[in-house]
């Protein structure tokens, strides 16, 4: 076994272990949420996965950014084919092991990867210009200060590094195929490297070409491994989570609120109606339950999945009428806050004994991240839900926080109190002199 082969296997094993640890933490944090069995309408859910997660249907509401994103996305998908070969080469100590096996199809795949890589390089440059020169406003709002902005630059830098490695590796390999055909299998005519290779590396010594090819190969490998380990702390985790998120996303009409079984049962009981849970005459609930959500454990797990899936693109916030009129609410920040709180809770929960049955309470909650001013500003218009390219629903979380504040804490904006009193006394949001349905009894 060659030295390079041994080193590669060791690095692969270390990366696999670290990736397992990192991604296990994310799964653990998502499972902090309430159980929520989602098995309805599987055909519609798979359609969303294909059209929205894979086909990026909602991205094309903004055509130019959509195509730029598509270039990078397709290059990422096709590059995985080349990555499979690199992993096989590294483990088995071979070089382009699939080239002789696949023949012309191999040439087609690598040629497509090169074309998409050129387009991805254009897109990466455009995205850097949008952030560093044009300074698109939605990328520079308050919640994006610090790490979120650096995160985007780091990812774009890794993409540029990966593209550099691909073209250096292919370009030198094209020249080496003519010099040492017995060691470097024929890849066929590649649309970019057949010109780029001789232009950049023509005239170099064979030993130099071999060094550059190996350097680019290792750079490619390490960039991919680095990207894999970096994803768990990056917004680009959506590359993986967009698929399950769109599958488990809410399919009910936008704006439709989930009923609260405890409230429904109590109201039906008061009206003399029989329900599955409460019979006529049972009276009030024995113990007042908590309504809505105070912390991440009160949210369904698929909402925590959505928080980890958030791309921080800001399309939701840029369409939010409350935000546009200067109010504090930012739907993007809501999702980022939920994810940050899940990270905080998950970190503390993992430190507790595995058999601990004590209810978790660190004295903090989502209300330490999200202020009442933010949740009160929401108009429930669903603009954020409509704008999200991967079907994230910040409105559901806002409504759950409102329910907790109003129904459990009996708090809320002072100008909302007359409306709630009217609803309770007359069944209408307006202050009427008598009950809303009084005319029925006349």
The full set of domain ranges for the chain reads 3-30+62-238, 249-351+363-409, 412-442
DSSP state of 62: S
Three-class SS of residue 32? coil
Residue 285 in tokens: 């609930």
Measured CA to CA, the distance from residue 288 to residue 411 in angstroms comes to 16
Q: What's the first-to-final CA gap in the chain, in angstroms?
A: 95
Q: How far is CA 403 from CA 156, 193, 298, 331, in A?
A: 40, 60, 12, 17
CA dist., res. 402 & res. 258, Å (int): 13
Take residue 183 and report the two structure tokens written for it. Answer: 């060691």
Structure tokens given for 101: 């096996």
The whole-angstrom separation of Cα 169 and Cα 81 is: 15
pLDDT, tens digit only, all 442 positions of the chain: 788 889 999 999 999 999 999 999 999 999 999 999 999 999 999 999 999 998 889 988 888 888 888 888 888 888 877 788 888 999 998 899 988 988 889 899 899 989 999 999 999 999 989 888 988 888 888 898 888 888 988 888 888 898 899 999 999 999 999 999 889 999 988 999 999 999 999 889 999 999 999 999 999 999 889 989 999 999 889 999 999 999 999 998 887 888 887 777 777 776 667 655 544 444 445 566 778 899 999 999 999 999 999 999 999 999 999 999 999 999 999 999 999 999 999 999 998 887 777 888 888 999 999 999 999 999 999 999 999 999 999 999 999 999 999 888 888 888 887 887 787 777 777 777 776 667 777 6
CB 388 within 8 A of CB 316: yes
In total, the chain counts a number of residues equal to 442
- Dihedral sign for Cα atoms in the order 336, 338, 342, 348: positive
Q: Are the C-beta atoms of 258 and 291 separated by less than 8 Å? A: no
Would you say domain 249-351+363-409 falls under CATH 1.10.1060?
A: yes
**Which residues on neighbouring strands pair with residue 34, listed in sequence order?**
300
């Amino acid at each position: 076994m060659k030295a390079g082969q041994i080193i590669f296997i060791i690095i692969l094993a270390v990366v696999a272990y670290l990736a397992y640890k990192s991604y296990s933490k994310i799964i653990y944090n998502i499972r902090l949420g309430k159980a929520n069995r989602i098995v309805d309408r599987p055909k519609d859910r798979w359609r969303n996965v294909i059209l929205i997660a894979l086909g990026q249907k909602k991205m094309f509401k903004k055509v130019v950014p959509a195509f730029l994103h598509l270039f990078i996305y397709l290059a990422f998908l096709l590059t995985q084919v080349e990555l499979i070969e690199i992993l096989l080469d590294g483990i088995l100590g071979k070089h382009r092991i699939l080239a002789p096996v696949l023949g012309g199809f191999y040439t087609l795949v690598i040629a497509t990867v090169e074309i998409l890589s050129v387009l991805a390089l254009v897109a990466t440059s455009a995205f850097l210009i949008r952030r560093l020169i044009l300074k698109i406003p939605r990328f520079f709002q308050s919640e994006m200060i610090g790490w979120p902005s650096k995160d985007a630059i780091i990812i774009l830098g890794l993409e540029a590094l990966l593209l550099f490695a691909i073209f250096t590796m292919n370009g030198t390999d094209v020249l080496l195929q003519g010099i040492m055909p017995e060691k470097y299998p024929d890849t066929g005519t590649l649309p970019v490297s057949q010109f780029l290779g001789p232009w950049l590396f023509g005239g170099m010594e064979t030993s130099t070409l071999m060094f550059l090819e190996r350097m680019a190969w290792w750079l490619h490998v390490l960039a991919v491994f680095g990207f894999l380990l970096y994803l768990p702390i990056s917004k680009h985790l959506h590359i993986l989570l967009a698929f399950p998120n769109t599958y488990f996303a809410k399919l009910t009409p936008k704006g439709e609120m989930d009923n609260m079984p405890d409230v429904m049962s109590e109201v039906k009981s008061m009206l003399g109606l029989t329900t599955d849970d409460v019979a006529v005459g049972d009276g009030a609930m024995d113990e007042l339950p908590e309504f809505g959500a105070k912390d991440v454990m009160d949210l369904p797990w698929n909402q925590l999945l959505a928080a980890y899936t958030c791309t921080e693109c800001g399309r939701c916030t840029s369409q939010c009428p409350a935000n546009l009129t200067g109010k504090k609410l930012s739907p993007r920040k809501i999702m980022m806050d939920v994810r940050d709180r899940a990270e905080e809770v998950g970190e503390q929960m993992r430190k507790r004994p595995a058999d601990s049955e004590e209810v978790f309470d660190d004295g903090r909650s989502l209300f330490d991240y999200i202020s009442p001013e933010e949740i009160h500003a929401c108009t429930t218009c669903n603009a954020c839900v409509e704008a999200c390219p991967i079907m994230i629903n910040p409105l559901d979380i806002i409504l759950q926080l409102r329910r907790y504040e109003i129904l459990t804490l009996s708090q809320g904006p002072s100008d909302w109190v007359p409306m709630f009193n009217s609803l309770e006394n007359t069944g209408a949001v307006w202050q009427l002199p008598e009950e809303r349905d009084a005319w029925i009894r006349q």
